[in-house]
Each structure stands twice: as structure tokens, then as C-alpha cells.
Amino acid sequence: MTVIDILLKKRGLTTAKAVADFFSPVSPEKIGLKQLGIDPKMIAAAIKLISEAIKIGRPIYIYGDFDADGISATAVLWEALHRLKAKVMPYISPRNESVRGLSVKGLSSFKAKSLVITVDNGITSFEAAESAQKAGIDLIITDHHQPKDNFPPAAAVVHTTQLAGAGVAWFLANHLRGESSSHLEGETGLDLATIGTIADMVPLLGANRSLVKFGLIKLQTSPRPGLKALAQAAVIDLAKITSHQVSFTLAPRLNAMGRLADSLDALRLLCTTDQKRAESLTIKLNEVNQLRQDQTLAMFTDARQKAREKSQLIFVQSPDYHEGLVGLVAGRLVEEFHRPVVVAALGPHHVKASMRSLKSFDAIKAIRDLGDLVLERGGHPMAAGFTAEAKNLPKIKTQLEAAAAKLTAQDLQPEAAYDCELSLDQVNWDLFKELEKFQPFGFGNPAPLFLAKKVKLLSFYPVGQDSKHLKLALQVPNLKSITA
């Protein structure tokens, strides 16, 4: 079996068709709704309601989430409706509200006879959906999060767990454009949907791979002043941008606004057509991102000291933790200790917590099993969160620890990260060219990692502006020394 065969098998690509679809994905415009798990009837109902609202000048509100996926999804749908001459405004609920996403409080901002369309949220917001009905507000829910046994009451629910929130929004916008009698030119929002898809760490296979592969091309040629300014500030050549740079450079800057400041400024940056405004907003994003980095490091240092590796679940809490950063800290602790982690920010009356987990422990199920102990919950099997009354935290901690106690030593054992063993004399330009065909890399399709044995380290020295990288001189059998 060749190196390429091993890599394909590890990604579950075992048939000729699967391999062909992986290396040559179809344009996302050609992907059918049923392939995505989206109900075509719901798309049709949503488009009918939106088209009628545009025709009579009815107010439409895009109700987004404050992370990079939610911000991108809001931008995608707002821009599509704006181009269709809709009377449309974005709304993103602040992080410091007790309920994340669609809420009764958020809906109170809108008048009766408005049309509210959620993006990247709403699929478990039953109380809010019922309040919308009572207030005479029509509601369309678009989301990708795990639903409960049924959907909240709404005029239409456009849902699939296969995509990110921005991906769901893009497919709705694309079908809306297709049904419109207006001739639309310009951006389709695929570049923005790509940012959200990469940022939300959905598997970059199937439809997501198609979105990102074609979306990166759009990103590389994007005329958007905001993206150009953001890339320049991050010292990225936009014409050669990769999924890795989106994930680790652009997305964190968007996320930082939702964590520590006003996510609407990140939305404004993505949508603005004014170069000077883009530059001023980029300065603000960079400043907030630096603050995010500093505060995250301080929180992680404290949480790491409190963590107990011997327990199956790590649970740390502090009134000094910022609720917008608990997820980042939990993620870093999982990487280091390889066990489920809960990091909680304590307030006077309420606590907001984030959980990051392993494949062997379903985070959102564990949190849902807490029942009435929590006020609000949401997320995925690997990443979830909750809001609760502070007085309930001891019981929550006990119940989560009991659930995690079932994990075995094998469950907590870090998996070997490499794809296969490879001698360095096999590394050449031909292999490099073959590996490049696996791009774009990301969750579900990580960059290939190989193990080389009998390698002798001759020397090393730090390189780069921050000296966080190393240049190595290596010696291997049957080869002269090589650098890496």
C-alpha cells in the first residue's frame, strides 16, 4: 500500500468514486439539498416568506451568533438580501446575555410583523420561538447544531448537522438568488462562508470540502476591503491564503470581537465597501485580538495549576475568568491532559462554562443530562457549553465527574498522531506534489503527518520573528545530513 493509499484510507475514502469526489469536488452550486440533509420543502417555505417580505418592504432581521461562524453566516445572508433590495438589518446577541443565540430578550427588540431569520442558532430555542409566535413575528430558523427530538415552532426550519452555520446560510442564499427574478452580479458570499466553515471546525470532507476548496479561490481574489485590510494586518498574502491561515490568523481575530468586544464590528469589517473604514476596523480587531491572547495566557496558566490530571474530568473555575475565553482555555487543557475539561467563569449569581472533550465522551449529551441544573446549553459532542445558577455548580461538577468516571485508561490515552511511517529518503518533490492534492487541510482532513525512525539530531537553532520555530540539522542512515 502506497503512502497516498494509506492517507485515503485514513480519511474513509475507500472507493474509486469517493477518491474522485475528494480530489475533484463539484462546485457547491451543484450540490443537491438532499445530499446535505436539508429538507427542500423547508427551503421553499423560507424562500417564499422572504420573497414576500422583500416585495412588500417588510422588515427582515438576520439574527446571528457572535463567533466567527455566526458572524460569517450573518454577513452571507445579510449581503444576499441587501442585494435583493430587502429592508434587512443584522442583529447579534451580546455574549454577556444569560441565553446564547435566539432569546426572548433578543426578540423583544423587534416589532410585530417583522421577519426574523436566525443563522447558526435557534434550533433548541423553544421558549424564544413560542414568544415570537405570540408577538406576531414570523421566524425562520437556520442552524447546524444538534437538535432536540423535534424542532421549535417556526415558519421554516433549514437545518443540517453536515455543514457549519455559514454553510447553511450560504445554501439558503444561493437558492434564494436562484429563485429571484432580479439579475444579480457580484459576490455570492462563498468567501465568507469559507471563513465560517473553517473557523467552526466542521469536517472538511464532502460538501464542506467543496465549499472551502472553491471558497478559497474566491478569497484569494476577493475585492472586499475588509478582507484585504485584515490579511495585510496579519501579514498574509491574500492571493495565496490557505485554510491553515484562515483557521489560525483570520478567524481568531473575528472570534476575539465576539469574546471581548462588539461582534458587529467584525461583521461591519466583512461587509464594508469603504477602504478607510476597513482599515480603522482592522486596527480595532487587532487590538482586541492581542488583548484576547494576553488574557487567555493568564487564564490558562492559572487553570493549568488547578488541573488534576489523575481525575477523568478536569473542572476548573474562577470569578477572575472571562466568560468569552473559557472555551479557548478548555481546548488548550484538553490538548495537554487529554481528558474532558470544563472551565467555568463565576459571576455573582450565574456561571458560564465551556466544555471541550474527546471522541470517547459526548460533551453535549453530558450537559443535556444535567437537566434543570442548567438554564441554557448548546454545542456539539466535542465542544459544548452551559449557563447555570452559581448555587448549582457543585451538583453540576459532581454529576459530570460521575459521567466521566466511566472513561477507561485507554479512552484517556493519546492516540498516535502520525499517519504512517516514512523514511526520509522517500521524501521528494513528487510526494510533495501528491500531498498538495489533499488541500485544503483542516478538521477531518488534517495535514499528513509522518514518523521517521533512526533519525539523529545534529543541531538546532530558533528561527522566525518570535523565535518560536526551530531549524534542524538531521542525520539519517544512507543519507547525508539534511535540514528541516
CATH number of 342's domain: 3.10.310.30
| Tally of domains in the chain | 3
Q: Do 427 and 400 share a structural domain?
A: no
Domain for residue 106, yes or no? yes
- What percent of the chain clears pLDDT 70, i.e. is strictly above it? 97
Q: Do 456 and 342 share a structural domain?
A: no
State yes or no: pLDDT of 183 exceeds 60.
Answer: no
pLDDT, tens digit (0-9, with 9 covering 90-100), for 138-178 = 999 999 998 989 999 999 999 999 999 999 999 999 999 88
Q: Do 175 and 99 share a structural domain?
A: yes
Q: What is the dihedral of CA 416, 419, 420, 426, to 10 degrees?
A: -140
Domain for residue 349, yes or no? yes
Domain for residue 248, yes or no? yes
Q: How confident is the model at residue 481 (pLDDT cuts 50, 70, 90)?
A: confident
What residues pair up with 384 in beta bridges, in sequence order?
A: 355, 379
- What percent of the chain clears pLDDT 90, i.e. is strictly above it? 81
Domain for residue 414, yes or no? no
**Region 17-36 average pLDDT:** 96
Please, are residues 338 and 364 in contact by the beta-carbon 8 Å criterion?
no
Q: What mean pLDDT, rounded, does the chain reach?
A: 93
User: Which cell numbers hold the place of 389?
Assistant: 445558577
Domain for residue 7, yes or no? no
State yes or no: pLDDT of 182 exceeds 80.
Answer: no
Q: Is 285 helix (H, G, I), strand (E, B) or coil?
A: helix
Interatomic CA distance for residues 322 and 287, integer angstroms: 17
Q: Do 87 and 183 share a structural domain?
A: yes
Q: Do 456 and 368 share a structural domain?
A: no
The larger pLDDT score, comparing residue 185 to residue 165, is at 165
User: Which cell numbers hold the place of 125?
Assistant: 430555542
Q: Which of 353, 377, 404 is the last residue of a domain?
A: 404
**Region 396-413 average pLDDT:** 94
Q: What's the pLDDT score for residue 483? A: 82
290-294, 363-367, 462-466: least confidently modelled range: 462-466
Q: What's the pLDDT score for residue 320? A: 96
Interatomic CA distance for residues 162 and 48, integer angstroms: 24
State yes or no: pLDDT of 180 exceeds 70.
Answer: no
Q: Do 173 and 53 share a structural domain?
A: yes
User: Residue 170 contacts by C-beta under 8 Å, 6 or more apart in sequence?
Assistant: 28, 73, 76, 188, 189, 190, 192, 193, 211
Looking at this protein, which amino acid is placed at residue 183?
H
User: Residue 323 contacts by C-beta under 8 Å, 6 or more apart in sequence?
Assistant: 95, 96, 345, 347, 352
Query: Any idea what the CATH number is for the domain that residue 227 is in?
Result: 3.90.1640.30
Interatomic CA distance for residues 431 and 14, integer angstroms: 20
Interatomic CA distance for residues 32 and 56, integer angstroms: 30
State yes or no: pLDDT of 484 exceeds 90.
Answer: no
User: Residue 459 contacts by C-beta under 8 Å, 6 or more apart in sequence?
Assistant: 472, 473
Q: How confident is the model at residue 185 (pLDDT cuts 50, 70, 90)?
A: low
DSSP state of 95: T
Q: Do 352 and 260 share a structural domain?
A: no
Domain for residue 42, yes or no? yes
Domain range enclosing 437: 420-483
Q: Which of 404, 433, 459 is the last residue of a domain?
A: 404
Q: Do 193 and 96 share a structural domain?
A: yes
Q: Do 356 and 210 share a structural domain?
A: no
User: Which cell numbers hold the place of 115?
Assistant: 421577519
State yes or no: pLDDT of 278 exceeds 60.
Answer: yes
Q: Do 227 and 142 share a structural domain?
A: yes
Angle, helix 3-10 to helix 429-436, in steps of 10 degrees? 20
Q: Which of 404, 431, 447 is the last residue of a domain?
A: 404
Q: Do 438 and 379 share a structural domain?
A: no
pLDDT, tens digit (0-9, with 9 covering 90-100), for 341-384 = 999 999 999 999 999 999 999 999 999 999 999 998 888 899 99
Domain for residue 443, yes or no? yes
User: Which cell numbers hold the place of 311?
Assistant: 481525575
Q: What's the pLDDT score for residue 97? A: 67
Q: Do 433 and 362 share a structural domain?
A: no
Q: How confident is the model at residue 464 (pLDDT cuts 50, 70, 90)?
A: confident
Domain for residue 395, yes or no? yes
State yes or no: pLDDT of 286 exceeds 60.
Answer: yes
